[in-house]
Structure 1
Amino acid sequence: MAENGDDDTPEGARESRGIQSIEVGGRLLLALVHAGRPMPLKDLAREADMTPAKAHPYLVSFGKLKLIEQDPASGRYGLGALALQLGLIGLQQSDPVRLASAELPALALAVGQTVGIAIWGNRGPTFVRLEEGPTAVHVNMRHGTVVSVRGTASGRLFAAFMPRDEVLATLRAEAGKAVRIEPAFEAELAGVREQRFSSIVDGTVRGITALAAPVFDGFGEMVIALTAIGPSAILDPSRDGAAAQALIGCAEGLSRRMGARPAAPT
């Protein structure tokens, strides 16, 4: 037995042990986040897999902490002021490039090709990180490289999700003249938005295939593109391929860490 109030629990066990009542009550917060709207007590308790009588005391305590608030007119429960403040602070502290950079080495091994991070810069899609994979790819790419909007997977991805006026301005700069988005390109961008995925074979470089998946923040805005680049003879361009699924899985995981809501099934 421990003396003088010391805890004799082994170090590993002490680190993994939590407070069960907090974890149980936390299911109510998770239910509200997943629902995305205020809910009546009965529905909220059901989504948290507990009875209304069990849920109510937790809601009272969460209300005192401003994590949850109840609408006096409808009686529905929603996230409170403190929950909103925590969310905003979390978004401010999240750096998508930093988070994605930590994932690149493992992603390059999973995809088996060179992977990178592109942002929407002043001149359009710009690569800020690259991680070489086990398969060599001979493309003149480095940090700071600006790529084509139309001719690259990451460029088309940004064209699908960025504000239209910004996309047109970049296309105009690329072409050196006024441009418009043709119906065929518009249809392609609609498909990219629906699938949250872009691929291109023999785009700006013949014999090279590129894949790209978007990462979104808590405001629903695309912040970076995760891209894989490899020889067309090896890299499968389809969304259902192993490389694409690894890329999409990584992008979706980063989006969740950035506070984005899960995408609807395609």
Structure 2
Amino acid sequence: MAEIQALAKGLKILNLLEHSRNGMGTTEVAKHLSIDKSSASRLLHTLANYGFVEQDENSSRYLLGPQLLTLGQHLLNRITLRDHARPYLHELVDKTGECAHLAIQAQRQALYIDQVESTAALRVESEIGTLSPLHCTALGKVMLAFGESRMPDEFRSFTHRTVTDPSTLEAQLAQTATRGFAIDDEEYNYGVRCVAAPVYDHRGILVGAIGISGPAGRVTLERIDEFGTVVRDTADALSARMGYDARLFLAQSRDEGTANH
């Protein structure tokens, strides 16, 4: 019985962390579960040992861990977005010759849920289930520019091109919103450029991002607008497949603007 109670409390901790944007400390967990701090600490350490939670080195707060992604991997096959996106990923590969990726937001990062590889000998691949930062990846910037994601608390540098200044990133995001696609110009990995665009559902809500990644020698700055147009058009087609009607939401936006004047 004691083991069952401990399991139940462990599951409650996972539910608590799921709804906590910035994680929780041991004292907070103990308070929510109405248990003493030492018991909460033992439960958290056990969950951490199995990868279900992880402790932030700076704040000492606990967040959901990567093992949950592994357990949930089979569920990705049932995600409607992934099912609908598959032919569009192939279309991107056919049109650009580069690897195509699909991502959603998870834990304030971009979670890769599908990809189609390029046939080129030199190509850029990303493992499904990988989490990438929002501030320096094309897929992540889409979520910052078009969704409701908050700016990151810190701007970790991965290359000398990584944007670490909030004002500079905000300017990039404004440009991204205007042209309809985001760019990663060797900001996350040297020698790799990426382009991504937003995907909406029938409610007009951002549900993911679709994009391509390739060697900087092929995805050149001179061709970036060309790649961007292809990616944006493909994302628009996928959004329409998801039930999104851009004209309807544009009309609603105009009506709201008129009402506010």
TM-score, length basis structure 2: 0.56
Shift of 1:235: 1.2
2:105 — aligned with what? 120
- C-alpha distance in 2 between matches for 1:131 and 1:146: 17
Residues 136, 129 of structure 1: alpha-carbon distance in 2 compared, 3 angstrom cutoff: farther
1:201 — aligned with what? 185
1:131 — aligned with what? 116
1:148 — aligned with what? 133
In percent, how many aligned pairs have the same letter?
25
Q: For 1:181-260, what aligned pairs fall within 5 Å after superposition?
A: 182-237=166-221, 238=223, 240-241=225-226, 243-260=227-244
CA contact (8 A) 1:209 1:231 kept: yes
Residues 140, 103 of structure 1: alpha-carbon distance in 2 compared, 3 angstrom cutoff: closer
Structure 1, unmatched stretches of 5+, are 1-92
Residues 149, 256 of structure 1: alpha-carbon distance in 2 compared, 3 angstrom cutoff: same
CA contact (8 A) 2:195 2:212 kept: yes
The structure 1 segments of at least 4 consecutive aligned residues displaced by more than 4 Å after TM superposition are: 137-140
Q: Does 1:167 align with 2:150?
A: yes
Q: For 1:62-141, what aligned pairs fall within 5 Å after superposition?
A: 95-137=80-122, 139=124, 141=126
CA displacement, residues 126-174 of structure 1 (integer Å, 9 cap, x when unaligned): 11111111224455620011112111111111111222xx423xx2377
- C-alpha distance in 1 between matches for 2:131 and 2:155: 11
Root mean square deviation, CA, Å: 2.6
CA contact (8 A) 1:197 1:239 kept: no
- C-alpha distance in 2 between matches for 1:167 and 1:115: 26
- C-alpha distance in 2 between matches for 1:239 and 1:212: 11
2:60 — aligned with what? none
TM-score, length basis structure 1: 0.55
Residues 94, 255 of structure 1: alpha-carbon distance in 2 compared, 3 angstrom cutoff: farther
Length, aligned pairs only: 163
Structure 2, unmatched stretches of 5+, are 1-77, 157-163, 251-261
Rg (Cα) greater in structure: 1
- C-alpha distance in 1 between matches for 2:142 and 2:246: 18
Shift of 1:258: 1.8
Partner letter of residue 187 of structure 2?
G
Partner letter of residue 108 of structure 1?
V
